[in-house]
A and B are shown apart, each in its own frame.
Chain A
Amino acid sequence: MTATDLSLTKQDADKLFQRKRLVGFGIPAVIFAYLVYIFFAFDIAGLAGRANLDNAVTLASDSWSHKVHVTRDNRSGEITYAVEGERKGTYPEGQRPEWVSGDEVITIDLGGDHIVRYLPDNRTEIELPGFPLIEVRAEGRSLTSNLPADLPDWISASNRRIGITTPEGRITLTGARTEVFNYFPGWELFWFTLDSPYHGQGLGKILFGEQIDPSRSNIAGAVSDWWNNAMWRHKDVAWAIGETILMAFLGTMGAAIIALPLAFMAAKRFSPVMMLRAATRRVFDFVRGVDALIWTVVLARAFGPGPLTGALAILITDTGTFGKIFSEALENVDQKQIEGVESTGAKPLQRYRFGVIPQVVPVLLAQILYFLESNTRSATIIGAITGGGIGLMLTQAIQTQKDWEEVAYYIVLIVVMVMFMDWFSGWLRGKLIGRKD
């Protein structure tokens, strides 16, 4: 008797172990098989071919450094000095970086004994350590040089274009112009552009020194020059961040205001008519299912691009989400409080106000504040599609494919903004409904 019992139990245990073993090996095997399928479906093997490592290098180096262009127009012989080659960063007439010298012969010292000389008659001399002196002459659209036929891989040359990449900087020569790029760490002109009188002045001198610009006081002038900096556009960036937060705020709060009365209609407790309840719920499911992407597309057709479109897209999608969450919260309210309020002779509206709302407010507030934070992220993404806020500035900066330091700046700002909203909504939640633990 006991022996059969024992063997039965043993059999059961064996079966259990077998099943566990199957699950224990089966789940990882299924995951692995799926990943293998994805490996082929996404063509990850071909990724190496598609990936552009040059882009990655440019991105990594440009995001924390800047370059100064020294350009000679070979037709007019004019030489310009510009940060990042942008007109907004051009050195004013008569000024140039201190690593450039000479009048007739312009000598550019890239550092580390790398020297480029712009000679008259569109001739260029390039002195590199461990390499014979390179002489190039531009005539019309073609170049003549003394470069040997056998070139190292950091020099590319044809009779139309010569490119030389050194650790100290880059040199490109074409018939039309000769350009030298000198790289420096840091974000240049972040505070003041070159045309501002405050450029190159120390903080102490601006705050406590004598007046630099006779027409303005130092602090006001410095703040206004920084705010209107044409390179980094601090004013536009601040507005863009404001727009993004505004989209999230308007969308979340508007959705909550609209969803609250609708949630009463969808909750079994408060809405005895089954048809009405079902209809409201289907509306919630529909607006949620259509998704912010499609709402953005549809609304952008009606309202045009901008923050209002983004705010409305968030509002409509979240009305569905909030409606669902709120009506679930309303189903779970305690009947006793409502009865208590009713016993004092309260009318239905008063019963809701004093019997129901105090019970659900903490739940609703917690949800709204959580969504406020997550919608800041959504607003960045929607802004990139519908054209508003910091999302748009980021997309534009990435699309130009050269202002990587601005891209890095925007990314830092976005992360700081989201973390700030996260902290802020947590703080507000703590103030309004007490800490969670």
Chain B
Amino acid sequence: MADISLGGAAQSVGSIQSSYMAQVQRRRLYGGLTLLIFVVLMVSGFNIADDRNAGGFWEGLHQIGDYPADVLSEAWGKRADLPGLIAKYFPALVETINIAAVSTLIGAIGGLFLSLLGTRGLAKWPRLIPLFRRISDIMRAVPEIVIALVLIFVLGGGPVPAMIAIAIHTAGALGKMFSEVAENADLKPVEGLASTGATWSQRMLLGVLPQVAPNYLSYSLLRFEINIRASAILGFVGAGGLGYELRNAMAWGPGRFDEAAAIFVLLFGTIVFFDQVSSRYRNRLTEGQGQ
């Protein structure tokens, strides 16, 4: 009796071991295959991109430093002018920041409504939840440059097309993030307010907003950082601000590299500055959450 059970146990250990080893091998095989496919995709993708590029990767690699070196050496040669140039382009910088700030503000307000109207339990018209969600999906999917280019054609160059374009994208992006936060909001205050006969806007303002405000602010600050970059890029296609000045300075080429350098410095400084400030405030905003 004991012999048999012992033999059975030994056998089952052996079979467990072998099936475990088989499993491990199969996993390794799958892992290896995935890795192989990934490597093939990366290499062939790189080759295709290299083929379709105007200049090749290996020919260009040693030239990477040339342009920055040209710009830096010329800017260093004219370093006395740099403060003056920075002062000259400061208004353009203010415009870039303003575009980002206004579009974040408008986008956050739009995203707030989209999120409240698109969240189960909070929506004013529960049947329209899918509609508001699709609206925010589409607004999020449209890259800023598409709207900006079309609006530049209609409204002419300047900050307004960029502002509208970024605001639309921001509303969609924040709408999604906000609604993820709002889904986790406690519904008891809302029910309490509803029992006193509060209207929908009162319920949202007094019951939901105080709960979600820190997260909403934190996401909006993150979006502001992203939008500063976006507004600089949109300037490059003609929507005013620092990007526009950068394109002009670059079009002039050598001889005006000091202006390009001044703009680089301003842009870099601004992005780093707002990154640091916003990440500090975001940490403070979300710190209280754990307690």
- Residues on A facing B (Cβ under 8 Å): 31, 34-35, 38, 41-44, 47, 50-53, 55-56, 59, 243, 246-247, 249-250, 253-254, 285, 288-294, 297-299, 301-309, 311, 377, 380-381, 384-385, 387-388, 391, 394-395, 398, 401, 407, 411, 414-415, 418-419, 422
- On whether A394 and B268 interact (CB within 8 A), knowing A42-B163, A311-B49, the answer reads no
**B109 nearest CB neighbor, chain A only:** A31
B156 near A309 with CB under 8 A, answer: no
Q: For residue A302, which residues in chain B have a CB less than 8 angstroms away from its CB?
A: 55, 60-61, 63-64, 66-67
Given contacts A50-B156, A311-B49, A414-B142, 9 further A-B contacts (CB under 8 A): A42-B158, A51-B154, A52-B153, A243-B49, A253-B42, A302-B64, A303-B55, A395-B237, A414-B146
Chain A CB within 8 A of B107 CB: no
A418 near B53 with CB under 8 A, answer: no
Pairs A–B under 8 Å by Cβ, sample size 24: A44-B160, A47-B160, A50-B155, A52-B156, A243-B49, A246-B48, A249-B41, A289-B271, A290-B268, A291-B271, A293-B236, A293-B246, A294-B267, A303-B53, A307-B53, A308-B53, A381-B145, A384-B149, A385-B237, A387-B54, A398-B149, A411-B142, A418-B141, A422-B141
CB-defined interface of B258-284 with A at 8 Å, one 1/0 digit per residue? 000000100110011001000000000
Q: For residue B32, which residues in chain A have a CB less than 8 angstroms away from its CB?
A: none
**B95 CB, min distance to chain A CBs, angstroms:** 8
Chain A CB within 8 A of B137 CB: yes
- On whether A419 and B143 interact (CB within 8 A), knowing A298-B68, A309-B53, the answer reads no
Q: For residue A35, which residues in chain B have a CB less than 8 angstroms away from its CB?
A: 102, 105
- On whether A377 and B42 interact (CB within 8 A), knowing A292-B229, A302-B55, A306-B52, the answer reads no
Chain A CB within 8 A of B232 CB: yes
Cα of A47 to Cα of B162 in the assembled complex, Å: 13
Cα of A276 to Cα of B58 in the assembled complex, Å: 30
**A415 nearest CB neighbor, chain B only:** B141
Q: For residue A380, which residues in chain B have a CB less than 8 angstroms away from its CB?
A: 143, 145-146
* Interface of B (DSSP majority class): helix
B57 near A34 with CB under 8 A, answer: no
Q: Which of B53, B56, B163 has the most CB of A within 10 A?
A: B53
CB-defined interface of B148-189 with A at 8 Å, one 1/0 digit per residue? 011001111011100100000000000000000000000000
Q: For residue A414, which residues in chain B have a CB less than 8 angstroms away from its CB?
A: 142-143, 146
**A123 CB, min distance to chain B CBs, angstroms:** 38
Partner of B150, one of A253, A303, A407: A407
Cα of A296 to Cα of B144 in the assembled complex, Å: 17
What are the nearest 4 A-B pairs in CB distance? A304-B54, A306-B53, A304-B55, A308-B53
**B153 nearest CB neighbor, chain A only:** A55
- On whether A398 and B45 interact (CB within 8 A), knowing A31-B105, A419-B137, the answer reads no
B64 near A243 with CB under 8 A, answer: no
Q: For residue A294, which residues in chain B have a CB less than 8 angstroms away from its CB?
A: 264, 267-268
Cα of A285 to Cα of B225 in the assembled complex, Å: 14
B54 near A305 with CB under 8 A, answer: yes
Q: Which of B42, B45, B143 has the most CB of A within 10 A?
A: B143
**A290 nearest CB neighbor, chain B only:** B268
Interface residues of B in 83-126 (CB under 8 A from A): 95, 98, 101-102, 105
Partner of A38, one of B54, B63, B102: B102
A398 near B54 with CB under 8 A, answer: no
**A407 nearest CB neighbor, chain B only:** B150
Q: For residue A38, which residues in chain B have a CB less than 8 angstroms away from its CB?
A: 98, 102
Partner of A50, one of B42, B49, B158, B275: B158
**B269 CB, min distance to chain A CBs, angstroms:** 8
B143 near A377 with CB under 8 A, answer: yes
**A388 CB, min distance to chain B CBs, angstroms:** 7
A51 near B155 with CB under 8 A, answer: yes
